[in-house]
Structure 1
Amino acid sequence: MCGRLNVTDSPGTRALCEQLDISLWPEEGMRLSRFIRATERVSVVFENAAGQREMHNAIWWLLLDKQQSDQGSRFVPSKYTSFNTRYDKLNTPRSAGYHAFRQQRCVIPARGFGETLVVGSNKRYHDMQVGEQDKLAMGGLYRVWHGQDAYGKSVTDYSCSVVTLPPHEKLADIHTKASPLMLSPEDGSLQRWLDRKVTDPEALSELLVPRLRHRLSAQPVDKPSTYQPTGAAFVLLAD
C-alpha cells in the first residue's frame, strides 16, 4: 500500500466516529484532508486501559527519533521506513510492530486510500474511496512517545502505521505488492481489532486475510497531488 489516505468529512466518517463513542478528542480537532501522506499527521482511535476510546493526531510513521533542542523534545520520523507494517512481521520478535500488534492497535477513520502501480518506467495512480454513507477504517498500530518541553514539563506524542496484507486479487490492476487492512463496524472486524483485551494473535488471524469489506470506487488520476482523472472510474465490489 502506498503512503496516502483520503480522510474527508463525509456522513459515513462522521457516523463512524459517533459510533466509536470517542471520549477524548485532540485539542486541534480531527485531521481532515483528501491527501494525507506518510510522515504527516493522521487521526487515529484506540482503546485506553479503562476501555475508553481516544482519538489523537499521530505521525504516520511508527518509528520516531527524539531530537533535543532549547525548546525541548521533538519527535521526527526515523530513517527506517515504517508508515506501513507488514502482516508477516507482526509475529516476528524484535520487529517494530510485534508488541504493538498485541497491545497497541488502532484504527484510522477514512474515506479511502491511494495506490501506485509501477509499469516499466511509468507509474499509474488510483484513488479508491467508499460511498458517502459507508464507514471505512484502516487497521493500524500506534506507539506513544514521551519527552520534556523547555521547562521540564512532560510532553507526549503519538505515531502510527497501517497494517498491510497480501495482495487482493480485485486490486491486481491497481497494486500488486500488498493491500491495506480495511475494517468495518458492520461485521465486527473493527470492534475486534480495537478491543484492548484481545492480546492473543490467533484471535486476530482471521482479520489478516485480504478482504474488501466495502464497495470501492477506483478513479485513475494523473498524480495524487493534482487529482486529475485520466480515465473513467470503475467499481470494485465488496467480497
Structure 2
Amino acid sequence: MCGRLNTYARSVAKASQELNVINPNEQIYKRFIRATDPVSIIVEANNTRIIDNATWWLLLEKEDHQFKPSRFTSFNTRSDKLNVPNSAGYQSFRHHRCLIPVKGFGETEFVNKKPIHYVDFTVDEGEYMCLGGLYRQWRTGDSIVTSCSVITLPPHQKLKHIHSKASPLIIPKDRYVDWLNPENTDVTQFSNLMLPNLPHDLSAQKIDKPSSYQPIGDVEKIAADI
C-alpha cells in the first residue's frame, strides 16, 4: 500500500512545467500528506492539462450537503481490481486517470497489525516522480468535488526487505502523455505498467514516525530498474 505522500520540494513543479499544465500555482507542497488530505493531481480534459486538488480517497459519500470520505477504504486502488466490472476503479481506469507528482512516498511495515518501522522513499535532489492514479468527480449544488486514489501493485523485489506489501504504481516519464489522454480507453496498452517497476533511483530512510520525521540509521540507495 501507499500510506503517505511527500510533495514538499520545488522540483515537483517540474511535472507541471514539462506537461504544460495551465494552472501550476495550484500545486500543494507538503511533506506529510495522509489519506483523506487534499493532494494535487494532474488531469487532462478537452486537450488541456490542469492541476486539480483532490481528496485522497476515491469513494465519497454525501453527508449534510457535503461529500466526505466513504466508510469504504479507497485511498489506494489495487491493480488486480482495475478490470473487475463494478469495482470502484473500473470506470476511472478507462476514463479518469491522473498523475500525482511527488518527491516521495512513505510506507509502514506491520507485523501482527503493529507497526515495526516507518520508511520514506524519495527521488534524488532536484527530481520528482509521478504516481499513477485514478480520480472521480462529485457534484454538490453548483460545485464539483474531486477525489483520487493511488494505484498499487504487488511488492517490488528491491523493496520487499523494507516493505513487504504492495508498492505504488510509478509511471515512467515516457508514458505520461498516454496515461493522461482520456481518449485512451483501450487499457490493454497499460498492461505492462501493472508489473512492479522502479523507473527512478530511490533513497529509503527509516524514520521514528511520520509526524516528527526524525531519521533512524543511514539512507539506503535503491537503483532504478534497467
Tell me if both proteins adopt one fold, taking TM over 0.5 as the criterion: yes
> Are residue 206 (structure 1) and residue 192 (structure 2) matched?
yes
Give the number of equivalent residue pairs: 224
Structure 1 residue 42 displacement after superposition: 0.1
TM-score (norm. length: structure 1):
0.90
- Return the alpha-carbon distance in structure 2 between the equivalents of residues 167 and 75 of structure 1: 32
Aligned match of 1:19: 18
**Residue 108 (structure 2) pairs with residue 112 (structure 1):** no
Output the amino acid matched with 2:58: L
Q: Measure, in 2, the Cα distance between the counterparts of 1:144 and 1:24.
A: 19
Question: After alignment, is 86-95 or 123-132 more displaced?
Answer: 123-132
Q: Which has the larger radius of gyration?
A: 1
Which residue of 117, 120, 129 corresponds with 1:127?
120
Secondary structure in 1 aligned to 2:31?
Answer: strand
Given residue 59 of structure 2, which amino acid in structure 1 is its aligned partner?
L
Taking the TM superposition and a 5 Å limit, the aligned residue runs for 1:59-74 are 59-68=55-64, 73-74=65-66
Query: 1:222 maps to what in 2?
Result: 208
Taking a change above 3 Å as real, the CA distance of residues 110 and 122 of structure 1, as seen in their structure-2 partners, is closer
What is the root-mean-square deviation in Å for CA atoms of aligned residues?
1.3
- Alignment-derived partner of residue 151 in structure 1: none
- Does the 8 Å contact 1:25/1:56 carry over to 2? no
Unpaired stretches in structure 2, ≥5 consecutive residues: none
Asked whether 1:33 is paired with 2:46, we answer no
1:135 to partner: Cα distance:
3.0
Partner in structure 1 of residue 140 of structure 2: 147
2:49 pairs with 1:53: yes
Structure 1, residues 33-65: CA drift from partner, whole Å, max 9, x if none?
Answer: 1100000000011110x1210111100000001
Q: Shift of residue 190 of structure 1?
A: 1.9
3-state DSSP of counterpart to 1:108: strand
Structure 1 pair 204–232 and aligned structure 2 pair: CA distance change class (3 A): same
- When residues 143 and 137 of structure 1 are mapped into structure 2, their CA distance, relative to the original with a 3 A threshold, is same
Partner of 2:177: 191
Partner Cα separation in structure 1 for residue 84 and residue 172 of structure 2: 27
Question: Which amino acid in 2 is paired with 1:165?
Answer: L
**Residue identity opposite 1:110 in structure 2:** V
Q: 1:231 to 1:24 in 2, by over 3 A?
A: same
Distance 1:123 1:82 in 2: 24
Moved segments of 4+, more than 4 Å = none
Separation of aligned partners in 2, 1:2 and 1:208: 15
Q: How far, CA to CA, are the matches of 1:9 and 1:235 in structure 2?
A: 19
SS at match of 2:218: coil
CA distance in 2, matches of 1:192, 1:222: 39
Alpha-carbon contact 2:101-2:129 (below 8 Å) kept: yes
Amino acid at match of 1:89: K
Instruction: Decide which of 161, 173, 184 is 1:173's aligned counterpart.
Output: 161
Equivalent residue number for residue 4 of structure 2: 4
